[in-house]
């Protein structure tokens, strides 16, 4: 019997069928939606370093939120505030090897340029009130 419940002592088990597949499909859909909206809500943003570029290279967050840089590039990167030739001392990450991440929380509203000297990458964080 496809999809039948089989009695078995103190518990019951499903022999398969459509209900289990529907639950799995629903769980996968929820996981996909949650992964898609990560970084879009009120928790901050994630910037991925890949193929010598920042993805995205501009994010907008609220004051008090955090930006996380995740290095998926083959090269190491150090995230520094400012845009060359004007450097600032707002934040500087350690050198991030491939697979490593670093986060910074922005307390004050404003426009914060950032860069990595590896590949001349440039990006911006806009912090709103």
Residue 77 and residue 124 in one domain: yes
Q: Distance (Å, rounded) from C-alpha 15 to C-alpha 36? A: 33
pLDDT for the residue numbered 73: 97
DSSP-based three-state secondary structure for 68: strand
Cα–Cα nearest to 116, from 70, 79, 82: 79
Residue 63 and residue 102 in one domain: yes
Residue 15 and residue 67 in one domain: no
Q: Which domain holds residue 18?
A: 5-37
Q: How many domains in the chain?
A: 2
Residue 65 and residue 22 in one domain: no
pLDDT for the residue numbered 23: 47
pLDDT for the residue numbered 63: 98
Q: Is the pTM of this model over 0.85?
A: no
Show pLDDT as tens, one digit a residue, over the chain (129 residues). 455 444 444 433 334 456 556 544 555 444 443 333 334 446 899 999 999 999 999 999 999 999 999 999 999 999 999 999 888 989 999 999 999 999 999 999 999 999 999 989 999 999 999
Sheet holding 80-83, edge to edge: 58-62, 121-128, 110-116, 80-83, 86-92
Residue 58 and residue 106 in one domain: yes
pLDDT for the residue numbered 87: 86
Residue 31 and residue 61 in one domain: no
CB 115 within 8 A of CB 84: yes
Residue 54 and residue 92 in one domain: yes
């Amino acid at each position: 019997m496809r999809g039948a419940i089989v009695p078995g002592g103190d518990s019951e088990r499903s022999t398969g069928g459509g209900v289990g597949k529907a639950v799995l499909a629903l769980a996968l859909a929820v996981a996909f939606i949650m992964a898609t909206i990560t970084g879009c809500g009120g928790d901050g943003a994630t910037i991925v370093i890949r193929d010598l570029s920042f993805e995205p290279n501009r994010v907008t967050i609220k004051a008090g939120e955090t930006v996380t840089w995740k290095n998926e590039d083959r090269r190491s990167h150090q995230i520094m505030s400012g845009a060359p030739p004007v450097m600032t001392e707002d934040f500087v990450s350690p050198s991030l090897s491939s697979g490593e991440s670093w986060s910074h929380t922005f307390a004050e509203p404003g426009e914060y340029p950032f860069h990595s000297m590896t590949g001349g990458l440039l990006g911006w964080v806009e912090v709103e009130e």
